[in-house]
Structure 1
Amino acid sequence: MATPRASESTHHFRCGGDVEMQVWSLWDTEVKKYLLHNLLDKRLIEKGDVYALYDFQTYAHNAVAMARRCERIPRLLEIADLINKAYDVLRPGSLLSAGRRWICTGGEICNEKNQLLNREVLLCSSQFLGIAASVANALSLADRPLPPAGEAFIVATVKIATEHLHRWGNQKTIENLRQAAKASPENVTDGNFSLLFSDKSLWHIAIYAELSGIAQSRKQGQVAAITRQVTRSSDYLITLLQLFKHRVTTRTLVNNQGTRVMVADLDRGFWRLYPDNRYAGYEGVEKPVVCVQAINSTSNAIPRMLIPARSVAPRPDTGWDFSHARRLVHALDALSRNWEAVQTVFKLPRTHEEPKALLQAFSNNLIANVWNGDMATPLFSNYWSGANGWYRVAYDNGTGECEEGSPPYSMSESFATGGYITWARYRHEIGALGKQLYGMVVNDKHTSSVVVSRYYSRLSEDTEATIRALNRFAFFSTMVGVGIE
Structure 2
Amino acid sequence: MNRKYFKLLIIITTMLLATSTTSAYTEFSKENKIDSKILGLWSQSKKSFEYSIKTLKNSPLELYFIGSESFNILNYSFQKKDSFLIEELLQLYLKTIPYIKKEKNYVIYELNENEEKSKIVLNKPIYIWSYKNGDEEVIASSQFLFVISFAVYKISLIPNEQRSKTMNEFIRRFSPILLSHYKRWVLGVKENGKEIKLGSFSRRGWGCKDKEDNYIYARTLNKMITELDNNSYHGASYCNVIADPSLLTIAGLGYYLAGEKNQEKSTNKTIEELNSFFIKSIKILSKKFKKSTIKDLNNRPIDILTFQEGAWYGHPNYEYSDYNGLSFPKEKDKKSSYFIGRDVSHGSRLLYLLEMLVATKDKFNIEFPTSNDMEMFTNSFYYRVFNQDLKRPLFKNYLNGSNGWFRVNYDSRKGYGYAPYQIGSLGALLGGYPRLAKYNNELEKVFITLFKKFNSIKKEDREFINKFYAKSIWMEGKEREVYHFYTKDIDIKTSIFLINFYSSLL
Q: What TM-score does the superposition give when structure 1 sets the normalisation length? A: 0.80
Say whether the 8 Å CA contact 2:357–2:368 is kept in structure 1: no
Is residue 156 of structure 1 aligned with residue 173 of structure 2?
A: yes
For residue 150 of structure 2, the aligned residue among 134, 143, 148 is 134
Is residue 429 of structure 1 aligned with residue 460 of structure 2?
A: no
Instruction: Give the direction of change, closer, same or farther, for the CA distance of 1:235–1:390 in structure 2 (3 Å limit).
Output: same
Structure 1 stretches of at least 4 aligned residues deviating more than 4 Å after TM superposition: 256-259
Q: 1:261 aligns to what SS in structure 2? A: strand
Tell me which residue corresponds to 2:246: 201
Q: Match of 1:392, as an amino acid?
A: R
Tell me which residue corresponds to 1:475: 501
Tell me which residue corresponds to 1:99: 126
Say whether the 8 Å CA contact 2:251–2:353 is kept in structure 1: yes
Mapped partners of 1:10, 1:179: distance in 2: 45
Is residue 31 of structure 1 aligned with residue 45 of structure 2?
A: yes
Mapped partners of 2:224, 2:415: distance in 1: 32
Tell me which residue corresponds to 2:321: 280
Q: 2:95 aligns to what SS in structure 1? A: helix
**Unmatched 5+ residue regions in structure 1?**
1-8, 106-116, 289-305, 344-349
Mapped partners of 2:302, 2:230: distance in 1: 28
Report the RMSD for the aligned CA atoms in angstroms.
2.5
- What's the CA shift for 1:452? 1.1
Tell me which residue corresponds to 1:147: 164
Q: What TM-score does the superposition give when structure 2 sets the normalisation length? A: 0.77
Tell me which residue corresponds to 1:214: 259
Mapped partners of 1:71, 1:216: distance in 2: 22
Instruction: Give the direction of change, closer, same or farther, for the CA distance of 1:139–1:77 in structure 2 (3 Å limit).
Output: farther
Tell me which residue corresponds to 2:118: none
Tell me which residue corresponds to 1:330: 352
Mapped partners of 1:84, 1:254: distance in 2: 48
- What are the residue-to-residue correspondences of 1:235-254 with 2, within 5 Å? 235-254=276-295
Deviations 1:271-329 (A, max 9, x none): 011110011121112211xxxxxxxxxxxxxxxxx334xx6343100131111011222
Aligned sequence identity (%): 20
Tell me which residue corresponds to 1:402: 414
For residue 485 of structure 2, the aligned residue among 453, 460, 479 is 460
Mapped partners of 2:128, 2:26: distance in 1: 45
For residue 137 of structure 2, the aligned residue among 121, 125, 136 is 121
Deviations 1:189-235 (A, max 9, x none): 34x744211111111121122113212221x5xx215x765433234
Instruction: Give the direction of change, closer, same or farther, for the CA distance of 1:455–1:240 in structure 2 (3 Å limit).
Output: farther
Mapped partners of 1:474, 1:363: distance in 2: 20
- What's the CA shift for 1:365? 0.4
Mapped partners of 1:255, 1:10: distance in 2: 28
Give the paired residue count: 419
Tell me which residue corresponds to 1:372: 387
Mapped partners of 1:258, 1:217: distance in 2: 47
- What's the CA shift for 1:355? 4.9
Instruction: Give the direction of change, closer, same or farther, for the CA distance of 1:35–1:406 in structure 2 (3 Å limit).
Output: same
- What's the CA shift for 1:459? 6.0
Tell me which residue corresponds to 2:477: none
- What's the CA shift for 1:432? 0.8
Q: Larger deviation: 124-133 or 172-181? A: 172-181
Deviations 1:371-422 (A, max 9, x none): 11100111111111111111111111xxx64343111111212111111001
- What's the CA shift for 1:464? 6.0
Say whether the 8 Å CA contact 2:183–2:274 is kept in structure 1: yes
Tell me which residue corresponds to 1:267: 308
Q: 2:400 aligns to what SS in structure 1? A: coil
- What's the CA shift for 1:449? 1.3
Mapped partners of 1:376, 1:269: distance in 2: 32
Q: Match of 1:469, as an amino acid?
A: S
Mapped partners of 2:228, 2:349: distance in 1: 20
**Unmatched 5+ residue regions in structure 2?**
1-24, 105-120, 188-196, 198-218, 471-482
Tell me which residue corresponds to 1:5: none
Say whether the 8 Å CA contact 1:279–1:314 is kept in structure 2: yes
Is residue 168 of structure 1 aligned with residue 185 of structure 2?
A: yes
Q: Match of 2:225, as an amino acid?
A: L
Say whether the 8 Å CA contact 2:254–2:278 is kept in structure 1: no
Q: Larger deviation: 357-366 or 170-179? A: 170-179
Mapped partners of 1:459, 1:177: distance in 2: 43
Say whether the 8 Å CA contact 2:354–2:369 is kept in structure 1: no
Is residue 318 of structure 1 aligned with residue 345 of structure 2?
A: no
Instruction: Give the direction of change, closer, same or farther, for the CA distance of 1:451–1:17 in structure 2 (3 Å limit).
Output: closer
Q: 2:70 aligns to what SS in structure 1? A: helix
Q: 1:55 aligns to what SS in structure 2? A: helix
Say whether the 8 Å CA contact 2:77–2:85 is kept in structure 1: yes
- What's the CA shift for 1:188? 5.2
Say whether the 8 Å CA contact 1:419–1:478 is kept in structure 2: yes
Tell me which residue corresponds to 2:408: 393
Mapped partners of 1:167, 1:158: distance in 2: 14
Q: Match of 2:35, as an amino acid?
A: E
- What's the CA shift for 1:77? 2.4
Tell me which residue corresponds to 1:293: none
Say whether the 8 Å CA contact 1:50–1:104 is kept in structure 2: yes
Mapped partners of 1:385, 1:183: distance in 2: 23
Instruction: Give the direction of change, closer, same or farther, for the CA distance of 1:68–1:162 in structure 2 (3 Å limit).
Output: same
Mapped partners of 2:410, 2:298: distance in 1: 41
- What's the CA shift for 1:33? 2.4
Q: 1:380 aligns to what SS in structure 2? A: coil
Q: Tell me which protein shows more strand as a share of its residues.
A: 2
Say whether the 8 Å CA contact 1:459–1:472 is kept in structure 2: no
Q: Match of 1:224, as an amino acid?
A: S
Q: 2:246 aligns to what SS in structure 1? A: helix
Mapped partners of 1:413, 1:10: distance in 2: 23
Q: 2:323 aligns to what SS in structure 1? A: coil
Say whether the 8 Å CA contact 2:146–2:253 is kept in structure 1: no
Tell me which residue corresponds to 1:292: none
Mapped partners of 1:92, 1:239: distance in 2: 30
Mapped partners of 1:57, 1:419: distance in 2: 13
Q: Match of 2:492, as an amino acid?
A: T
